[in-house]
Structure 1
Amino acid sequence: MITTRSQRWRDRRSRWVPTASEIDPRTLAVDVIDTAREAAPFVRAHHYAASMPVTRLSVGLFRNGGGGRSELVGVCVFAHPVNNASVPKSAGLEDPRTACDLGRLVLLDDTGGNAETWMLSRAFNLLRREKPEIISVISYADPIRRIDERGQVFMPGHVGGLYCVMGSRYTGRSSSRIDLILPSGQPISSRAISKIRNAECGQRYAVEQLLQAGARPLLAGEDRTAWLVDLERVGFLRRQRHPGNHVYLFPLTRAAKIAARGLPDLPYPVLDRSAQVGDVTALPLLRMAA
């Protein structure tokens, strides 16, 4: 895969830098950081999702700043898998504790084009040191272009160019699904919706997410499932079909590579730069010729 630009972030907006631009490693450092005090505020300020997954380890990219102080310019979050079933399906491992997701990777837009690979390779080393039970990392690339209420693109969609460059294994797509989309263009997670419907732990936070996005408050004694249905009826929430994220695997040990032998090993997907809406994955050549 040939890439000419690297995706960067600032203030929850996607930006791009030339891949040919280079970092000066003498000015940078990578280290484990505190999730609550350092990683979460950075991710919420700059990543388009503005949220943190359940985290197993957070790693920061630091740059030399003024007065001899270091500045946090990137965060990598290793998270619990989206569900336990994804570990045998995507990593070939039986024990869900032996794999994690690359839950967030966000670098500011004034870092060089090769900062991601430089940071991520070191983050994997730190993960092995701090969490030796984890031997595989699963990563997802969301190919859906997301547009806000003003018609501005805040997430252009991607097919995982970074993971291809780093030699990961492409195993296909996750299951297709139906997303519920807020007026801002942000999807609200199916897990959050489930918590509201089933009155599970964490439902208050999920409800608060909707209220902060502009949903009408619950009426006294109103059933929460009925409330969600009404939010769809009035157009506050809208449904959007998602074809599934691209799934990549980084086996970090020999045992992890052996466990993944039975998984699909597919050609890397290609970005369709002409796509204006929806899935930005280029169609397979045979389909394009048909």
Structure 2
Amino acid sequence: MTFPIPEALPFEDLAELPPTSVWCQRWRQGRHSWRHVRNGGFDARNYRVDVIAEKKPAEEFVLAHHYSRSYPAVKVQFGLYDVSGRLRRLCGVAVFGVPVSTAVLTNPLPYLRPYTQSLECSRFVLLDECPGNTESWFLARCFAALLDDGVRGVVSFADPVPRRTASGVLVMPGHVGTIYAATNAVYAGRATARTVKLLPDGTVFHARTAQKIRRREQGHEYATAQLVALGAPRPRPGCDPALWLRDALAAVGARNIRHRGAHRFVFRLGRTRREREEIELGLPARQPYPKQPDPEPPPTWPPAAPSISPNSPDCRSSQWS
């Protein structure tokens, strides 16, 4: 008698697998792991999907478990709840929100009104306790609720660039959008290539975050505290925020890496196939789906010592008080 050879458990730092794989990626405390589809077996009776009305529970969940350690601007957020026990427990969050530019939505979906008929799926994270196939069921429930509210298109991105901490610990293996491919999203190629700043903990310091600090916009206090926690000196009253930011990034050892652009996926929502196909795309559909993350990029330059100390009297401006 012969027995089938089971598929081996992926190594911890293995890239995402093809949509037909029996392994599903999960997260806890920012660390990813793998679950086999047979582990426990998915039973929809054990789960419920609801809108999370208050921002805080979803934000705390994402900050605790998503590798980005950040929370975006939100339009609507959904929670996946385990209701198999006496108390229902939050075990997954999907965030649909407002991107930094309307072009993120209007380029792939030019005939839908941004922020009302089209949204960005900016965070999607499930705990490692969720069995295989949970994510596709969760995503389908979210799309059904969005469609009821008039949303006809969703854009999402998969970041294929692996990232490590300054000490070499892998914190993000690189994503190719396996769940999006498995749920029949349209692959619309890569977003714009750019250079990104990587902090010592492996997280990306986004250009929008830097802009908040330079212009002292809403949220700049949190962004400043993030750099101070990594070792940057606290800004003194009167210090020019742009100069402080430049030297703070150098002080913490931020690295520049070249990013070839995230993979872009587009969902057209509708109750029938005809309704979905009636939604015109502004970008051509690409084939095949991406299969492998990008190679790990080297830094484009080593961290430099601060040129102007944030404590220097020369680093002053009425912009910072």
Q: What TM-score, normalized to structure 1? A: 0.87
Write the distance in 1 (CA, Å) between the matches of 2:289 and 2:144. 27
1:18 to 33, 36, 50: 36
- Measure how far apart 1:243 and its partner are: 0.9
| Matched letter for residue 87 of structure 2 | R
User: For 2:200, what is the secondary structure of its paired residue?
Assistant: coil
- 2:143 counterpart of 1:124: yes
1:74 corresponds to 2:84: no
Q: Show the counterpart of 1:50.
A: 69
Bigger radius of gyration, 1 or 2?
Answer: 2
With over 3 angstroms needed to count, the CA separation of the structure-2 counterparts of 1:35 and 1:3, relative to structure 1, is farther
- Rounded Cα–Cα distance in structure 2 between residues aligned with 1:178 and 1:110: 35
Q: Aligned to 1:33, which of 52, 58, 63?
A: 52
Q: CA RMSD in A?
A: 2.2
Q: Quickly say closer, same or farther: Cα 1:72–1:218, change in 2 above 3 A.
A: same
From 287, 290, 304, give the equivalent of 1:270.
290
* 2:120 corresponds to 1:101: yes
d(CA) in 1 for partners of 2:254, 2:99: 27
TM-aligned CA deviation for residue 8 of structure 1: 0.7
Indicate the SS of the match to 1:201: coil
Using the TM superposition, give the Cα deviation of residue 64 of structure 1 relative to its aligned residue in structure 2, in angstroms: 2.6
Shift of 1:262: 4.3
Output the amino acid matched with 1:105. Answer: F
Q: 1:160-193 deviations in whole A, cap 9, x for unaligned?
A: 0100010010000111111111111111111010
Match of 2:176 among 159, 162, 177: 159
Q: Residues 11 and 46 of structure 1 are in contact (CA less than 8 Å); yes or no, is this contact kept in structure 2? A: yes
Percentage identity across aligned positions?
35
Q: What is the alpha-carbon distance in structure 2 between the residues aligned to residue 235 and residue 36 of structure 1?
A: 30
CA deviations 1:34-56 (Å, max 9, x no partner) are 24242111111111112211111
For residues 97-144 of structure 1, give each alpha carbon's deviation from its aligned partner in whole angstroms, at most 9, with x where no partner exists.
221111111100011110000110011111222x32x21000100001
| Unpaired segments ≥5 residues, structure 2 | 1-17, 299-321
| Amino acid in the other structure paired with 1:59 | F
Cα gap change, 1:42 to 1:234, in 2 (>3 Å): closer
> 1:60 and 2:62 equivalent?
no
Q: Distance in 1 between matches of 2:128 and 2:98?
A: 27
**1:216 to 2:233 alignment:** yes
Contact 2:190 2:261 in 1 (8 A): yes
- CA distance, structure 2, for counterparts of residue 229 and residue 123 of structure 1: 41
Asked whether 1:194 is paired with 2:214, we answer no
Moved more, 252-261 or 1-10: 252-261
Matched, 1:83 2:101: yes
Tell me, in whole angstroms, the C-alpha distance in 2 between the residues paired with 1:142 and 1:214: 27
Which runs of at least 4 in structure 1 moved beyond 6 Å after TM superposition?
A: none
**Alignment check: 8 A CA contact 1:136 1:256 kept:** no
- Name the structure 2 match of 1:283: none
> What are the superposed Cα offsets for residues 60-100 of structure 1, whole Å, 9 maximum, x if unpaired?
1111354x211111111111133111122122235212211
SS for the counterpart of 1:91 is coil
Partners in 2 of 1:276 and 1:234 — Cα distance?
Answer: 27
Distance 1:255 1:205, change over 3 A: farther
DSSP 3-state at the match of 2:90: strand
| Farther-moved stretch of structure 1 (160-169 vs 12-21) | 12-21
Partner amino acid, structure 2, of 1:237: A
Query: Counterpart in 1 of 2:21?
Result: 3
| Rounded Cα–Cα distance in structure 1 between residues aligned with 2:112 and 2:143 | 21
Q: Is the 8 A contact 1:107 1:116 kept in 2?
A: yes
Q: Which residue of 1 aligns with 2:301?
A: none
The answer to whether residue 103 in structure 2 is matched with residue 92 in structure 1 is no
Give the residue type in structure 1 aligned to 2:204.
P
**Match of 2:132, as an amino acid?**
G
1:112 maps to 131
Between structures 1 and 2, the one with greater helix share: 1
1:165-180, aligned counterparts within 5 Å? Answer: 165-180=182-197
Deviations 1:13-35 (A, max 9, x none): 11121245431112111111224
